[in-house]
A = this chain, B = another copy of it.
């Protein structure tokens, strides 16, 4: 943002500028737009990249590498060749992996549900330990917070810095409060900040002392290989670091192909220490006869290995990068000089965090809605849906194509101006 700020304008100028923006919004509203920047969904062109998944099996090709008939029951942990792909991506061993169904969210929910009812390995059920709490770096992923809310787990908001969660606060809290049982982490291109955890943050998470022996890190690596640009730093492996620190059971890593192949029909996994995996398999052997191995086989046939997956991700990046650039350029052009907002410029992932003036986020989202643009509800990225500053808005530019996105940004910037100038008058 540059020097000429809205606060330097006179009241009359602000009124005029607000009226201009409001007039723009009225015009958009009259156009019957139906725009959406609310959810991090892959676009149709991104989904097209994986269309061979629809046809890559034949009536003869239904056997795994080991000759298993994938059509039939069984194989609770997933196909070995699918495990290998996940293990390579997450840099863990295949016996630290369980392959699941079409969504990692369901595996996270299941994991927490079972910890509530039966406890973590070697611990009492969380539901019998009184009020339990999770640390929630915020803004964060609304669906993580919804899981906590569903189970009545108290959420403690942790400030998200550019390097990850504010570790001074995290360390102090977990060292002293045994009712804190978990922390949600999206370590790379976090939802919605787009930040990348620093090496120091990863190491501190692995090494910190926790009052609760059954404290768990929920490491949702949803965007772990979703880079926009070729170069990126390798992060220390949280599972390895936890093991080195003598806390091998501390972390559950989650990953899926939802934003690699098909959002609705992908393959997910959980990775953890061998002992946690064995512990979870006991539950799963009661819960399931096995995941959909045919869909795993499709993924194995089409994606083959980590190298070809990286090539595939470069195609996603080629589609996503211009959209993110468009958002950042347009925000800069429309709002950059006004000093009424700031935003992130992430190098991967699915979201841009936008911070308006205090107390304007709800109003901006409402104005967008009136003009035909759906945004994620203001506050949704905070525990209990409450942004203390009413300032943050999550922008999800992946789904609309360039022209729609451009129009959505017209609406959004006009709404930001109206709400901000109103607040200044």
Contacts and interface: CB of A to CB of B under 8 A. Distances in A.
Contacts of A114: 113
A72 B287 contact: no
A286 B55 contact: no
A399 to B, nearest CB: 9
Interface stretch (A46-54, A86-94, A224-232, A414-422): A46-54
A152 B74 CA distance: 25
A102 interface: yes
A286 B109 contact: yes
Nearest to A54: B57
Contacts of A258: 73
A290 interface: yes
Chain A, interface size: which category? Answer: 35 or more
A295 interface: yes
Contact of A72 (B42, B106, B116, B293): B42
Nearest to A68: B264
A365 interface: no
Contact of A147 (B110, B150, B286, B290): B286
Copies in the assembly, this chain: 2
Contacts of A127: 117, 127
A47 B294 CA distance: 12
Contacts of A75: 264
Contact of A283 (B61, B102, B150, B294): B150
Nearest to A59: B51
A289 interface: yes
A11 interface: no
B55 A57 contact: yes
Nearest to A102: B292
Contact of A292 (B42, B47, B147, B265): B265
Nearest to A128: B127
A117 B151 contact: yes
A27 B4 CA distance: 96
A146 interface: yes
A105 interface: yes
B292 A39 contact: no
A103 interface: yes
Contacts of A118: 150
A72 B289 contact: no
Nearest to A266: B292
A41 interface: yes
B73 A263 contact: yes
Interface in A25-66: 39, 41-42, 44, 47, 50-52, 54-55, 57-59, 61-62
A41 B72 contact: yes
Contact of A146 (B102, B117, B286, B291): B286
A286 B51 contact: no
A264 B117 contact: no
A61 B53 CA distance: 12
A292 B54 contact: no
Nearest to A150: B286
A303 interface: no
A288 B55 contact: no
Interface string A197-240: 00000000000000000000000000000000000000000000
A62 B261 CA distance: 14
Given A47-B72, A265-B292, 7 more contacts: A47-B62, A54-B59, A113-B114, A117-B117, A264-B289, A264-B291, A292-B295
